[in-house]
């Protein structure tokens, strides 16, 4: 049981490492947050929500695997080598492929004009909601640019 729990700890450490050290992971986590926030305005079925969650999980997982490949490759050698370059490029390409298809899935799921009307109404008729989403946008930008390490640096 102890090793089972340790496995989860190591997995969470890996996720935290990706978030702290990879700007693209922070971009993906912010995009996922906004997708989930805005999804409430669309009448998604359980299946559509499942597709949305699988897509988000796929992109975040691919980014984590890309980070793993890059870190391992950099540990093996810092010298330029065609095989290392090919491995790193392929891992980055895998993330790009999944991200492009994720945008396609988002276009299909969020293609409902009525959802955008509801969102517009929600934010324009409730100033506190508009203020909250603007504040969240600013926090998101700081998080993406500085990362959690940059935000919470100890002096």
* Catalytic residue annotation: 63
The half-sphere exposure of 92 on its side-chain side, counting CA atoms within 13 A, is 11
Can you point out the beta strands (E) in the chain?
A: none
Token pair of 48, please?
């559509």
Mark residue 126 as left, alpha or beta (left: phi above 0; alpha: psi -120 to 50; beta: remaining): beta
Token pair of 124, please?
């324009």
């Amino acid at each position: 049981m102890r090793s089972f729990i340790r496995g989860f700890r190591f997995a969470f450490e890996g996720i935290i490492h990706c978030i702290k050290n990879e700007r693209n992971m922070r971009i993906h986590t912010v995009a996922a947050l906004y997708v989930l926030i805005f999804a409430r305005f669309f009448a998604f079925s359980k299946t559509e929500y499942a597709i949305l969650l699988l897509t988000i999980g796929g992109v975040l997982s691919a980014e984590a695997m890309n980070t793993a490949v890059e870190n391992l490759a950099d540990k093996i050698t810092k010298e330029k080598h065609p095989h290392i370059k090919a491995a790193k490029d392929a891992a980055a390409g895998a993330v790009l492929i999944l991200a492009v298809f994720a945008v396609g899935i988002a276009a299909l799921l969020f293609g409902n004009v009525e959802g955008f009307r509801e969102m517009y109404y929600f934010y324009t008729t409730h100033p506190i909601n508009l203020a909250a989403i603007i504040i969240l946008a600013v926090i998101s930008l700081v998080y993406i640019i500085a990362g959690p390490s940059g935000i919470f640096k100890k002096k």
